[in-house]
Structure 1
Amino acid sequence: MKYPTIILFALAAFVLPTFAANDYLWGEVGENDYKLAKDTVSKAFFVGLVQTKKYVFKQSDNLNALTITAIKVTDKKKSHGATAVLVSGGPGSKGATIKFTSERGYGIKDTVEIWGR
């Protein structure tokens, strides 16, 4: 009776990470924060290759630019989603650069929301 339970947990340990989305949150969204941007980052798959894409958020008016308080990245793929790395900027600064990297043979489809005040 105990072996089926162990097999079930072992199987879940291998299967569940495949279906996990790669969602990220840098910083914290406060009550008085404004949504500065909401963009979709996507790049089609290519068989056998790892896809990368760089997302750059830059405010047009540096004198009146708001400070970023949070960046939320939501993976729109159910499985084999891309990873995101905050390369520069982010919470506490005026801009941000995020690098997305897909799994080999898969594409990128994420939503980026940037909050600030």
Structure 2
Amino acid sequence: MKFVLIFIFLVTFVTYIQAADYQWGEPDGPKDYLIAKDKVKKIFFLGLRVTKKYIFKQRDTDALTITAIRITDIKKKYDSTAEIISGGLGSKGVAIRFKSKKSKSIKSLVEIWGR
């Protein structure tokens, strides 16, 4: 019985750790500036997957080049996925599509660095 409880705890812990956190690129210390920090949220719809598109644009006059993007799943149990659909590293903007699991919400934190 004790073994079963430990096994269940370990499986739960590993699942929690492997939540949908993503990172493209690496912020390079003082050279990179945090240029955007936004929460992306969308409420669930029973029995369906929800999607949300996040678009980051800059003004042309003082636009920085994106060097790193970090997405953190705020509610680990939601386990939403994220994919870059346009732009990204080396460009001035990015579009990211978030998808949830069935009957789950999207609640993530997006951080974008540039220089």
Map 1:29-40 onto structure 2 (within 5 A).
29-31=27-29, 32-40=31-39
Map 1:1-117 onto structure 2 (within 5 A).
12=10, 16-17=14-15, 20-31=18-29, 32-61=31-60, 63-117=61-115
Alpha-carbon spacing, 1:33–1:49, altered in 2? closer, same or farther (3 Å): same
Residues 78 and 107 in structure 2, CA contact (< 8 A), matched pair in contact too: no
Moved over 4 A (4+): 8-15
Alpha-carbon spacing, 1:33–1:19, altered in 2? closer, same or farther (3 Å): closer
Q: Distance in 2 between matches of 1:10 and 1:107?
A: 25
Residues 78 and 106 in structure 2, CA contact (< 8 A), matched pair in contact too: no
Cα RMSD for the two superposed structures: 2.3
1:16-42: CA deviation from partner (whole Å, max 9, x where unpaired): 336632111001101110111000000
Instruction: Give aligned pairs, total.
Output: 114
Sequence identity, in percent?
51
Amino acid at match of 2:56: F
Can you give the 5+ residue segments of structure 1 that lack an aligned partner in the other structure?
none
Give the TM-score taking structure 1 as reference length: 0.84
Shift of 1:15: 7.1
SS at match of 2:46: coil
Shift of 1:60: 1.8
Q: Distance in 2 between matches of 1:18 and 1:116?
A: 30
Can you give the 5+ residue segments of structure 2 that lack an aligned partner in the other structure?
none
SS at match of 1:17: helix
